[in-house]
Amino acid sequence: MNIQLVESLVSAIQALSPEERELLNEKLTEKSSWQSLRLQILASTQGIQQRRRSQLLETDIDNIIYQMREERDQQLMVGLFPSEEK
């Protein structure tokens, strides 16, 4: 532990005005953006699940991946051979 650093931070904090200390406290206790975003996502997920009455989505992931690859291949072919239309 860096005792000198901690002591200098304490001195700097004690030198702050009450308004500056309040701002510092807000910044230190503020949730990081990813945490608040995570809470929003969880709330949205719960809302969706309630609307769907907890029914899971019936998606075929293999079909989705196949479709994405086909679309990507189509885009690549158009990029490589612009004169030929598929």
Query: Domain extents for the chain?
Result: 1-30, 32-86
pLDDT digits (tens, 9 = 90+) for 2-13: 899 999 999 999
Q: How many CB atoms lie within 10 A of CB 3?
A: 7
Question: What phi and psi values does residue 55 have, to the nearest 5 degrees?
Answer: -80, 135
Residue type, 85: E
pLDDT digits (tens, 9 = 90+) for 25-80: 888 877 667 788 888 899 998 888 888 887 777 778 889 999 999 999 999 999 89
CA dihedral 37, 41, 43, 48 (to 10 degrees): 160
